Amino acid sequence: MQTNHSNNQVLLVDDEADIREVLCIALKDLGYLVLEADNGEEALNIFKDQSPPIVLTDIKMPTMDGIELLKRIKNENPECEVIMISGHGDMSLAIKSLKHEATDFITKPINVDALEISLKRANDKIIMRNKLKAYTENLELLIREKIELQDNLSALGLMIGSISHGIKGLLTGLDGGIYLVNAGIRKKNLNQIEEGWEVVILMIDRVRRMTGDILLHTKQRDLDRRPADLLSLVSEVALTVEPKAAKYGITFIRDFDAMAGEGLIDAGYISTALINILENAIDACTHTKAAVDKRITFGLRTDKRHIIFTIQDNGIGMDLDAREKIFSLFYSSKGKKGTGLGLFIANKIIGQHGGTINVDSVLGHGSIFTLKIPITSAQKVSDPVKVM
Ligand SMILES: Nc1ncnc2c1ncn2[C@@H]1O[C@H](COP(=O)(O)OP(=O)(O)OP(=O)(O)O)[C@@H](O)[C@H]1O
Ligand SMILES: [Mg+2]
């Protein structure tokens, strides 16, 4: 018979060389690789070194007997199958060994058929245990996948609900704009037409931003990190939002370190994150009732280990409760005007870069968002830079 498990070693322990010799031949005939020991101590050393799945041991041996060896082996590895060899008058010892989790016992003089049956039993147990392990692992994987799927489905459901809600709001806005334009045309009132047209443009801009954000969220692609000139990146981001800031009378301050150098980042993603946070800063400034000069400071600097972007505003600020929710999917305090995707996405992008976003905010006084991205080894922060 050939054994059918991958590790077909058997550790044979007997103090009598003749018996070992006979058993060794029988075991080899049955297809096993035989490791031999003539006492318990040596057997334990071999066991620790080779981890054979099956041990065949005599019960009566000088110094360490078979039962003691059985206990120690089970202590080392409870899954090892130990078959005891007992003399004719040792029935009580053989039964005692079963109490200590021996797989089976065979009696001397050894009948090869009985040995084969015992070994088959031990092998069957090993195969069953391995199958059970594989099933359990598979089951755990399936459960994990199911939970993930459920999470994704509920996030998707939440998202579809929110998108529909958002679109409804945008359509209301568009209807309002179109109504104004039509009324203006009817009355030949250019101011009203312009007013309505501005609403239409604003709503289209929101659709565009919302679509971009949703695509970014649903299709989580891997980062495309390339060396990017940090000063150029922040300058372009500033150019994108400055007109809007100007429109609301907000002073926009660029506080960039011209020596910031290059960063190994996904520039498109980082721009998206920065624009989302800057747009929030503009919103925060437009919503404040405090009689202060509205101001946003956009900063770029590096230290030895990080690229650091800061966005500070003196707008409405947040209380602790809001501060704790802002990165949650769909959290927004802006009603129909916000989807609550901006910071969720920004946080995800910075997280993907191995970085963090820290927020300090005081209700009524403003907020500062600090984005820290670790400099990877491939980055050359102090390289000469292209100044815009
Ligand atoms: N600079 C800030 N000052 C005060 N509150 C802020 C600031 N930035 C974010 N918040 C709060 O965090 C919330 C979540 O911001 P987030 O950008 O995720 O969504 P949103 O701006 O409401 O909608 P949108 O998806 O259009 O960006 C905002 O609604 C606002 O309450
Ligand atoms: Mg936002």
* d(C-alpha 86, C-alpha 106), whole Å: 6
Q: Does residue 287 have its Cβ closer than 6 Å to ligand 1?
A: no
Least confident range from 160-169, 197-206, 265-274, 303-312: namely: 160-169
Q: Does residue 343 have its Cβ closer than 6 Å to ligand 1?
A: yes
**Contact by Cβ (8 Å): 30, 116:** yes
Q: Which residues have CB under 8 Å from 113's CB, separation 6+?
A: none
Please report where in the chains the tokens 């409804």 appear, as a residue.
Answer: 168
The predicted pLDDT at position 6 comes to 47
Q: Which atom of ligand 1 is closest in space to residue 343's alpha carbon?
A: 18
pLDDT digits (tens, 9 = 90+) for 59-79: 999 989 999 999 999 999 999
C-alpha closest to that of 327 among 365, 357, 301: 357
pLDDT digits (tens, 9 = 90+) for 259-298: 999 999 988 889 889 988 999 999 999 987 776 799 999 9
* d(C-alpha 245, C-alpha 248), whole Å: 5
**Contact by Cβ (8 Å): 294, 251:** yes
CA of 217 to the centre of ligand 2 (A): 14
Q: Does residue 318 have its Cβ closer than 6 Å to ligand 1?
A: yes
At residue 136, what is the residue type? Answer: T
Q: Does residue 276 have its Cβ closer than 6 Å to ligand 1?
A: yes
> Residue 386 above 50 pLDDT?
no
pLDDT digits (tens, 9 = 90+) for 302-325: 998 999 999 999 999 999 999 999
Ion ligand 2: residues, CB within 5 A, are: 280, 342
Which residue has a Cα nearest atom 7 of ligand 1?
280
pTM exceeds 0.75? no
**Contact by Cβ (8 Å): 274, 254:** no
Cα dihedral 374, 380, 382, 384 sign: negative
CA of 342 to the centre of ligand 2 (A): 4
Residue 130: φ, ψ to 5°: -65, -40
CA of 196 to the centre of ligand 1 (A): 26
Q: Which residues have CB under 8 Å from 24's CB, separation 6+?
A: 12, 34, 36
* d(C-alpha 301, C-alpha 304), whole Å: 10
> Residue 377 above 60 pLDDT?
no
Which residue has a Cα nearest atom 27 of ligand 1?
342
pLDDT digits (tens, 9 = 90+) for 92-110: 888 888 889 999 999 988 8
C-alpha closest to that of 368 among 313, 295, 287, 306: 313
Per-residue pLDDT averaged across 339-363, rounded?
91
Q: What percentage of the chain exceeds 90 in pLDDT?
A: 58
